[in-house]
């Protein structure tokens, strides 16, 4: 969609963009990410890359891009390690250091403080986010009553054991640092063993399971969003309308941020020229001596390490905008905990 919009305006300096399908580019596995990055970096026609799919893949690929001087813009990779990936690695979200603080503040601001459990996916996304969150809770005088990792796509026996261990700790709030497709299989087990449990998830929870939840299985789960979808910006409104017209549901954060990344690179090439190093230098100046770029997700400006200033929204699935639990900076008092 971003490519079509650019081409409708005449392309980049009169040259149209073409779409090429690269096998393995969507993989979350580090080995495939490196192989894909090697193929892309070796092609002199490739000026920059938008990707990869998640933190593990982006981190693995960043070694190749920085060694080969290829700009990488990761739309949603939030691992703290990515801040040190190198001068050719940028991203459109903040480090999970900030998201961990955001989630911890939402809990620490509650009185009385709820009994809280933490479940995190055991990968390069879940581990660092958990470490920041738990340390921030500890410094605030709050300890998790249950704190355990889980493996993606676990079997039913593992899920049952995980849920039973969680239930024994009797939490009132569950912080789920992982994906919705791993939460769905234990949803009914949790509802039976812990009725009234409040579930708050990290940004990794977003995706097709949420947008295509016609059975409303995920209603009442609150999760961190990296884009304020209610932002009254004409481009975002137009994108959401197009999604509805095509019956695609609501665009995900990754969709909006990937769209922004393509438009951002178009601006970079338009202003700096079609050279890898020139593109990197121009992006590094965005927010300094180059004005922030207007994106659907908000103004885009980079910190010296290539990170974007963090912004978060805590959104409850299934609630209308009128009474959704939302926050853009610090958690607000509209978040409530219910004791059953």
Pairwise CA distance, residues 135 & 269, whole Å: 42
Q: What's the whole-number mean pLDDT along residues 272-277?
A: 96
What is each CA distance from 94 to 169, 175, 224, 282, in whole angstroms?
32, 19, 12, 20
Average pLDDT score, the chain: 89
Long-range contacts at 272-280 (CB < 8 A, ≥ 24 apart): 274/12, 274/13, 274/47, 275/47, 276/47, 276/48, 276/69, 276/70, 276/71, 277/69, 279/47, 279/48, 279/71, 280/69, 280/71, 280/87, 280/88
pLDDT at 119: 97
Dihedrals φ, ψ of 177, to 5°?
A: -100, 80
Q: What's the whole-number mean pLDDT along residues 239-264?
A: 92
Pairwise CA distance, residues 65 & 230, whole Å: 35
Pairwise CA distance, residues 95 & 334, whole Å: 25
Q: Read off the tokens for 130.
A: 């958990």
Pairwise CA distance, residues 269 & 44, whole Å: 15
Cβ–Cβ under 8 Å, residues 77 and 254: no
SS3 call for 29? coil
More confident residue, 324 or 162: 162
pLDDT at 340: 33
Q: What percent of the chain has pLDDT over 70?
A: 92
pLDDT at 26: 65
| DSSP label at residue 274 | S
- pLDDT over 70 at 184, yes or no: yes
pLDDT at 24: 64
Q: What's the whole-number mean pLDDT along residues 14-43?
A: 84
Pairwise CA distance, residues 228 & 312, whole Å: 8
- pLDDT over 50 at 309, yes or no: yes
Q: Determine which helix (DSSP H) or strand (DSSP E) holds 300, and give its type and residue range.
A: strand 298-300
pLDDT at 338: 36
Q: What's the whole-number mean pLDDT along residues 190-204?
A: 95
- pLDDT over 90 at 113, yes or no: yes
Pick from 199, 107, 185, 188: nearest CA to 151:
185
Q: What's the whole-number mean pLDDT along residues 315-323?
A: 68
pLDDT at 337: 35
Dihedrals φ, ψ of 123, to 5°?
A: -150, -170
Supply the pTM of this predicted model: 0.81
Window from 9-23, 108-122, 178-192, 321-335 with minimum mean pLDDT? 321-335
- For the chain, give percent helix, strand, coil, nearest 5: 40, 15, 45
Q: What percent of the chain has pLDDT over 90?
A: 73
- pLDDT over 60 at 144, yes or no: yes
Query: Exposed, middle or buried by CB within 10 Å (0-12, 13-18, 19+), for 321?
Result: exposed
- pLDDT over 50 at 329, yes or no: no
At 207, the pLDDT band (50, 70, 90 cuts) reads confident
* Residue tagged 């708050």 (tokens): 200
């Amino acid at each position: 969609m971003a490519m079509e919009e650019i081409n409708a305006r005449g392309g980049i300096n009169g040259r149209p963009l073409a779409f090429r399908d690269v096998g393995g580019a969507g993989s979350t596995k580090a080995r495939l990410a490196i192989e894909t990055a090697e193929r892309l970096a070796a092609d002199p026609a490739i000026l920059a890359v938008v990707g990869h799919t998640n933190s593990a893949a982006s981190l693995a690929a960043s070694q190749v891009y920085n060694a080969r001087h290829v700009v990488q813009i990761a739309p949603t990779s939030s691992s703290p390690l990515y801040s040190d990936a190198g001068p050719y690695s940028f991203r459109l979200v903040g480090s999970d250091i900030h998201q961990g603080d955001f989630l911890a503040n939402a809990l620490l601001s509650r009185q009385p403080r709820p009994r809280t459990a933490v479940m995190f996916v055991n990968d390069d996304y879940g581990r660092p986010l958990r470490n920041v969150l738990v340390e921030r809770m500890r410094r605030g005088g709050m300890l998790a009553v249950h704190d355990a990792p889980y493996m993606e796509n676990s079997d039913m026996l593992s899920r049952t054991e995980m849920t039973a261990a969680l239930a024994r700790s009797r939490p009132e709030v569950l912080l789920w640092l992982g994906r919705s497709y791993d939460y769905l299989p234990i949803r009914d087990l949790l509802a039976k063993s812990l009725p009234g449990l409040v579930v708050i998830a990290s940004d990794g929870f977003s995706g097709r399971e949420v947008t295509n939840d016609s059975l409303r299985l995920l209603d009442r789960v609150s999760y961190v969003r990296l884009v304020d979808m209610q932002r009254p910006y004409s481009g975002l409104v137009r994108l959401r309308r197009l999604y509805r017209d095509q019956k695609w549901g609501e665009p995900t954060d990754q969709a909006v941020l990937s769209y922004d990344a393509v438009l951002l690179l178009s601006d970079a090439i338009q202003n700096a020229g079609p050279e890898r190093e020139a593109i990197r230098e121009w992006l590094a100046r965005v927010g300094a001596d180059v004005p922030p770029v207007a994106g659907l997700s908000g103004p885009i400006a980079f910190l010296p390490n290539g990170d974007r200033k963090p912004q978060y929204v805590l959104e409850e699935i299934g609630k209308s905008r009128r009474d959704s639990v939302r926050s853009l900076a610090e958690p607000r008092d509209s978040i409530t905990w219910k004791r059953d």
